[in-house]
Structure 1
Amino acid sequence: MDNRSEVREFLMSRRARVTPQQAGIETFGDRRRVTGLRRDEVARLAGVSVDYYTRLERGNLKGVSDTVLETVAHALLLDAAEHDHLFDLARTANAGVRRPQRSPGDTPVRPELQYMLDAITAAPAFIQNNRMDLVAANALGWAMYAPMIRGATRTPNFSRHIFLDPASHDFYPDWDRAAWTNVAILRREAGRNPHDKRLQTLVGELSTRSETFRELWAAHDVRRHYAGQKSFRHPVVGALELNYQTLELDGDPNLGMTVYTATPGSPTEQSLRLLASWAASDDTAPHHARPSPQPRTQEERA
Structure 2
Amino acid sequence: MASERSSSGGGGLELGQFLRARRTQTRPDQVGLTVGTGLRRTPGLRREELATLAGMSIDYYVRLERGKETRPSPSVLDALARALHLDDAEHQHLRELAARAARYAPEPPPPPSRTVGPHLRLLLETMRPNPAYVISRSMELLAWNPGGLALYAGLADWPATQRNLARYLFLHPTARTLFPDWEYQVRGCVARLRAQAGIDPDAPDLTSLVGELLLKSPDFAKLWERYDVVGRKKPQKTFHHPQVGVLTLTGQSMHLEDTPGQRLGVYTAEPGTPDHDAMLLLDLTAPQPAGHPEAKVGQQPRTES
Query: Normalised by the size of structure 2, how large is the TM-score?
Result: 0.82
Residue 80 of structure 1 is matched in structure 2 by: 88
2:70 to 46, 62, 66: 62
Number of residue equivalences: 288
Q: CA deviation at 1:76?
A: 0.8
Q: Which digits, 9 at most, give the CA deviation of each residue in 1:162-217, with x for residues without a partner?
A: 22222222222222222222222211111132231121111111212222222221
Q: Which digits, 9 at most, give the CA deviation of each residue in 1:32-79, with x for residues without a partner?
A: 624422223322332322222222122234111223212211211122
Decide whether aligned partners of structure 1 residues 21 and 225 sit closer, same or farther in structure 2, where only a CA change above 3 A counts: closer
Contact map agreement 2:289 2:299 (CA 8 A) in 1: no
Q: CA deviation at 1:291?
A: 4.8
248-257 or 129-138, larger mean C-alpha shift:
248-257
Contact map agreement 1:226 1:246 (CA 8 A) in 2: no
Q: Which digits, 9 at most, give the CA deviation of each residue in 1:250-286, with x for residues without a partner?
A: 3222111122122565431221121122237689x9x
Residue 3 of structure 2 is matched in structure 1 by: none
1:159 to 148, 161, 166: 166
1:124 to 131, 137, 142: 131
Residue 21 of structure 1 is matched in structure 2 by: 29
CA distance in 2, matches of 1:165, 1:201: 18
1:251 to 258, 274, 296: 258
CA distance in 2, matches of 1:195, 1:263: 43
Q: Which digits, 9 at most, give the CA deviation of each residue in 1:58-116, with x for residues without a partner?
A: 2234111223212211211122332232223222212223332222134x112222233
1:101 aligns to 2:109 (yes or no): yes
Contact map agreement 1:92 1:194 (CA 8 A) in 2: no
CA distance in 2, matches of 1:288, 1:250: 20
Contact map agreement 2:132 2:267 (CA 8 A) in 1: yes
1:39 to 41, 44, 47: 47
Q: CA deviation at 1:153?
A: 4.6
Contact map agreement 2:143 2:297 (CA 8 A) in 1: no
1:7 aligns to 2:15 (yes or no): yes
CA distance in 1, matches of 2:140, 2:235: 20
Query: Partner letter of residue 232 of structure 1?
Result: F
Contact map agreement 2:144 2:297 (CA 8 A) in 1: no
CA distance in 1, matches of 2:229, 2:144: 26
Query: Partner letter of residue 48 of structure 1?
Result: M
Contact map agreement 1:102 1:196 (CA 8 A) in 2: no
Decide whether aligned partners of structure 1 residues 266 and 46 sit closer, same or farther in structure 2, where only a CA change above 3 A counts: farther
CA distance in 2, matches of 1:288, 1:158: 18
- SS where residue 90 of structure 1 aligns? helix
Residue 151 of structure 2 is matched in structure 1 by: 144
Give me the identity figure in percent.
Answer: 38
Question: Please, which runs of 5 or more residues in structure 1 have no aligned partner?
Answer: 293-302
Query: Partner letter of residue 131 of structure 1?
Result: S
CA distance in 1, matches of 2:289, 2:139: 28
1:222 aligns to 2:224 (yes or no): no
1:135 aligns to 2:114 (yes or no): no
Residue 6 of structure 2 is matched in structure 1 by: none
Q: CA deviation at 1:221?
A: 1.6
> What does 1:268-287 align with in structure 2 at a 5 Å threshold?
268-279=275-286
Residue 300 of structure 1 is matched in structure 2 by: none
